[in-house]
Amino acid sequence: MVPFPSELRDLIIDCLRNDTAALRTCGLTSKAWLPRVRHHLFRFVEVHPGRRGDAFKVLLQDSPDIGRYIRELEISGVGDETVVPEVSGRWPTLVQRAAPATRKEHVHRADVWLEHILPASPTVLSRVISLRLFSLPITPHFAALLGAHFGEVTAVNLDACRSETFGDLLTLPRALTKVGHLRMDGVKWFRPLYHKPEGNIVLRPCSLKSLVLTGKIDATTVISWLVDQERYTSLTSLSCYLSSDASAIAVQKLLEAAGPTLHQLTIGFSEVRDPSVVLKNAELSLQPLTSLRKLHVQCVNATRFWAIPSLSWILILISKANSRYLTELTFSISAADLKDKLNLEGLSVILSNRRYSALRDLIFEVEGHGDQWDDIRVRLNMRLSVLDTKGIQIHLYPFGEHA
């Protein structure tokens, strides 16, 4: 009997990667099928306090070899049992709901709970490359635990996490030394002040290549640390929101420092009455970005102040671009603002300048277009028609659908 080709077997299993029930059935077919099945079943795992965390602990105790299939791990502080951060008497509680009265656990603190569910051997989860932490307190002990078990992690997503001080938060990147991609959303620290270090800085190898800071985070402190500690030397991609003159000044210092290496920039405003005033006060300019390839201007939800007469800040910002490598320019914008506030004629003039000679794709991600799609397309083609003669293609996508 001719054996079934392993290539075809793996291809069949790959086609079922989104069908958990079918994958489980395949896993019972033959031992030869099991590795490929586990590759899909356990590639992403989510754990949280309570039954799921207990099941994770038992799974790795009984079958530690499964750990090598886990590549992406999400650790959440919200589950059947709430994690209680006990780091200071003045700590703002993270508890969103009381633990069920019928369930009693001896595990309460995040670091104790994490130590309880992680395998005894730090090598079991050594193949994890992506880590997402949700609603967890970051303490030095917690960071040390992560560093011991996830030393090969290259991507970290911090969502709604808390630290008592910014220094405590920094214990995480110090523990996970190979992180190249960091995303922070809704991360807060109890004592927000950051003090610039005095004296000579002891430099360590820097692997950070991509940094994403949403509008729900104090970008000033994070970026000031990045600049003061010279942690930007490998940075090629930055996404951030400006919420004040201070944040814009900090970003400008980073752009000046990382200008030659930065290839992608996403920039927007959050809780700002007039972005053009912030740009002026901070003297923010894209001129230092001489190697910029992609620029994304985020206009959707840029401010809670609705009485802004125009989006002139966009033209002010892009008029200072200075990269002969810039090939893609993206605007995320609402249909109403595209129609009434964005000066398309002014945009056309700026993009016709020779500083945009390498531009090939002009992309509009439009929010709330509804039945206005055809009108928007006609408006863009008519008012930006001169760009077509320069080889610039105009693309229109619903908001969030452009990769």
Delimit the domains of the chain by residue range: 8-41, 44-86+105-191, 235-403
Q: Are strands 210-213 and 264-269 parallel, antiparallel or unpaired?
A: unpaired
Confidence of residue 369 (pLDDT cuts 50, 70, 90): low
Mean per-residue pLDDT, 192-220: 72
Tokens of 398: 């619903």
pLDDT tens-digit series, residues 328-362: 999 999 888 888 889 999 999 999 998 999 999 99
Q: Average pLDDT in the 167-192 region?
A: 90
Predicted pLDDT at 290: 94
Read off the pLDDT band of 271 (50, 70, 90).
confident
Instruction: Report the pLDDT value the prediction gives residue 301, as an integer from 0 to 100.
Output: 61
Maximum Cα–Cα distance across the chain: 78
Q: How far is CA 301 from CA 297, 334, 341, 364, in A?
A: 12, 9, 14, 15
User: Is the pLDDT score of 95 beyond 70?
Assistant: no
Residue 66 has pLDDT above 90, yes or no: yes
The answer, yes or no, to whether residue 118 has pLDDT greater than 80, is yes
- State mean pLDDT over 18-22: 83
Please state the rounded mean pLDDT for residues 201-229. 83
235-403 maps to CATH 3.30.450? no
**Structure token digits, residue 48:** 């949280």
Using an 8 Å Cβ cutoff, are 369 and 400 in contact?
A: no
pLDDT confidence of residue 28: 82
Q: Is the pLDDT of residue 267 over 90?
A: yes
| Contacts for 105 with CB less than 8 Å, ≥ 6 apart | 49, 50, 81, 99
3-state secondary structure of 330: strand
Kindly tell me if the per-residue pLDDT of 33 is higher than 80: yes
Q: What is the pLDDT of residue 247?
A: 94
**How far is residue 232 CA from its own chain's centroid?**
16
pLDDT for the residue 103: 36
Where residue 96 falls among pLDDT bands split at 50, 70, 90? very low
Q: What is the mean pLDDT of the chain?
A: 85
pLDDT of residue 97: 41
Q: Is the pLDDT of residue 36 over 80?
A: yes
Q: What's 98's DSSP letter?
A: P
- pTM, entire model: 0.85
Residue 90's pLDDT band (cuts 50, 70, 90): very low
342 CB-near residues (< 8 Å, 6+ apart): 299, 310, 311, 314, 331, 333
Mean pLDDT calculated for residue range 61-69: 94
